[in-house]
């Protein structure tokens, strides 16, 4: 395979993640301006973000199947058009059902066709280099998370939140739909692997000795453990991504400073994805998640005590670095279950992540509405990191001699 197609695929995927993940992260910045205009509760407003992740998880299963059968280019193009349209429609929100339809359903459906097709394309295109290539692509998402909150805050200060959403919709089209046209339509066979020939994993000699179907994967204990692992990862991630800016502004920290702290969190996530993705081939993808959960849980406990700006910046550094462990999700699924049905298995597994992303923000909003502060919400975030750590520690690799590693 020539170097140029490799560069084209990675560059396109990098830009797609930058646009889609950046716009998604900016919801926390739009949160309070919308609350001020409409007077909704935090739980009700955060519910739209939770619906987005429910749609992402459910529809993502179909998107994974479509990706396996038809390739990634068309799936991501359609998803990008839905994302762009959804953000444009957000400028017209006037009632709560508009918010749930435009953000939860339309943008949620659009997001469902981003993660799995991009990650599956990288997994199939690069073989033993999938760890570092996945890291490079996910750095795009980290950069999006770094730049989107301060840019969105600046746009809101200049034009108000409705016009800011119009601009976001246009940027999503540029960064998602256009780069998607340069993706290669990889399907169910890994590049450079003959039909029926297992791809060797540098992390685990026997992982990949068998290529699982979805039904075979679901029958294993490892599938449910990895689903639990990513559920808790998504829960802790989006409790913070949605509520940390409102939390800081409740502490009388300026919106600009709060957005900058969120940007630091995103920037460290991008750096961590590159670092952890680079070392994952040596230490293993499961170990990467263990590192991530330790840092996420420790940072969440720190947030319970943090009051000053420097303490919040320190939280952002540690938590952001911990989130970089997400870079190992797709490679881990490839190691556990092979590549023949990677898109479909990853899509179903991502449902666990999406349910965590859905549960976290709305629970945190409810706890704030009931108690008047975020202490219980951030304690739940810390606990989710510990539960994720336990799930990850129990994951082991099925192999040729013990392909099922099944329940019980």
Most confident by average pLDDT, 46-50, 201-205, 231-235: 231-235
pLDDT at 186: 56
Q: Any long-range contacts for 401-408 (C-beta under 8 Å, 24+ apart)?
A: 401/206, 403/209, 403/210, 403/212, 403/216, 404/219, 404/220, 405/220, 405/221, 405/222, 406/219, 406/220, 406/221, 407/219, 407/220, 407/221, 407/224, 408/221
Query: How is domain 3-189+200-394 classified at the CATH fold level?
Result: Growth Hormone; Chain: A; (1.20.1250)
pLDDT at 140: 87
Tokens coding 324: 């970089």
Apex 251 CA angle, 245 and 254, nearest 5: 60
Q: Which of 17-21, 75-79, 236-240, 337-341 has the lowest mean pLDDT?
A: 337-341
Q: Which of 21, 17, 20, 42 is nearest to 31 (CA)?
A: 42
> Could you state, in order of their start, the residue ranges of all structural domains in the chain?
3-189+200-394
Helical axes 3-25 vs 72-90, angle rounded to 10°? 30
Mean pLDDT value of segment 127-138: 74
Mean pLDDT value of segment 60-68: 80
The CA radius of gyration of the chain, in Å to the nearest whole number, is 20
Q: Is the pLDDT of residue 204 over 80?
A: no
SS3 content of the chain, % helix, strand, coil (to 5): 80, 0, 20
pLDDT digits (tens, 9 = 90+) for 278-325: 888 788 889 999 999 999 999 999 998 888 899 999 999 999 999 989
Say which DSSP state 200 is in. P
Query: Exposed/middle/buried for 402, CB within 10 Å: 0-12, 13-18, 19+?
Result: exposed
Tokens coding 54: 């429910």
Could you tell me the pTM of the whole model?
0.73
Query: Exposed/middle/buried for 40, CB within 10 Å: 0-12, 13-18, 19+?
Result: middle
Q: Is the pLDDT of residue 3 over 50?
A: no
- Helix or strand (DSSP H, E) at 93: none
Residues 6+ apart with CB under 8 A from 158: none
Q: Which of 16-20, 96-100, 257-261, 296-300 has the lowest mean pLDDT?
A: 257-261
């Amino acid at each position: 395979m020539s170097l140029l197609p490799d560069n084209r695929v990675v560059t396109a995927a990098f830009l797609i993640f930058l646009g889609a993940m950046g716009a998604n992260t900016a919801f926390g910045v739009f949160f309070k301006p919308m609350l001020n205009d409409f007077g909704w509760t935090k739980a009700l407003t955060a519910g739209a973000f939770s619906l987005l992740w429910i749609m992402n998880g459910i529809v993502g299963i179909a998107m994974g199947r479509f990706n396996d059968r038809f390739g990634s280019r068309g799936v991501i193009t359609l998803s990008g058009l839905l994302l762009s349209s959804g953000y444009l429609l957000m400028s017209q929100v006037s009632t709560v059902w508009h918010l749930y339809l435009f953000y939860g359903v339309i943008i949620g459906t659009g997001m469902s066709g981003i993660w799995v097709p991009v990650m599956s394309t990288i997994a199939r295109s690069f073989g033993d280099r999938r760890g570092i290539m996945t890291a490079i692509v996910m750095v795009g998402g980290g950069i999006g998370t770094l730049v989107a909150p301060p840019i969105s805050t600046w746009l809101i200060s200049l034009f108000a939140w409705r016009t800011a959403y119009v601009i976001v919709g246009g940027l999503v089209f540029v960064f998602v739909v256009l780069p998607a046209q340069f993706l290669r339509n990889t399907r169910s066979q890994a590049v450079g692997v003959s039909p029926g020939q297992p791809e060797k994993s540098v992390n685990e000699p026997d992982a990949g000795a068998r290529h699982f179907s979805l039904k075979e994967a679901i029958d294993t204990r490892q599938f449910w453990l990895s689903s639990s692992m990513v559920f808790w990862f998504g829960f802790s991630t989006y409790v913070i991504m949605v509520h940390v800016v409102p939390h800081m502004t409740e502490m009388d920290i300026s919106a600009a400073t709060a957005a900058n702290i969120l940007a630091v969190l995103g920037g460290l996530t991008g750096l961590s994805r590159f670092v952890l993705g680079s070392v994952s081939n040596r230490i293993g993808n499961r170990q990467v998640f263990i590192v991530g959960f330790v840092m996420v849980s420790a940072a969440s406990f720190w947030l319970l005590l943090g009051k000053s700006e420097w303490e919040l910046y320190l939280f952002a550094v540690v938590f952001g670095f911990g989130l970089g462990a997400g870079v190992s999700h797709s490679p881990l699924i490839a190691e556990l279950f092979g590549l023949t049905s990677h898109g479909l298995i990853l899509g179903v597994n991502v449902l666990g992540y999406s349910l965590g992303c859905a549960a976290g923000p709305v629970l945190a909003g409810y706890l704030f509405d009931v108690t008047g502060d975020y202490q219980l919400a951030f304690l739940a975030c810390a606990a989710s990191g510990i539960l994720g750590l336990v799930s990850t520690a129990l994951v082991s690799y099925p192999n040729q001699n013990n392909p099922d590693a099944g329940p019980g």
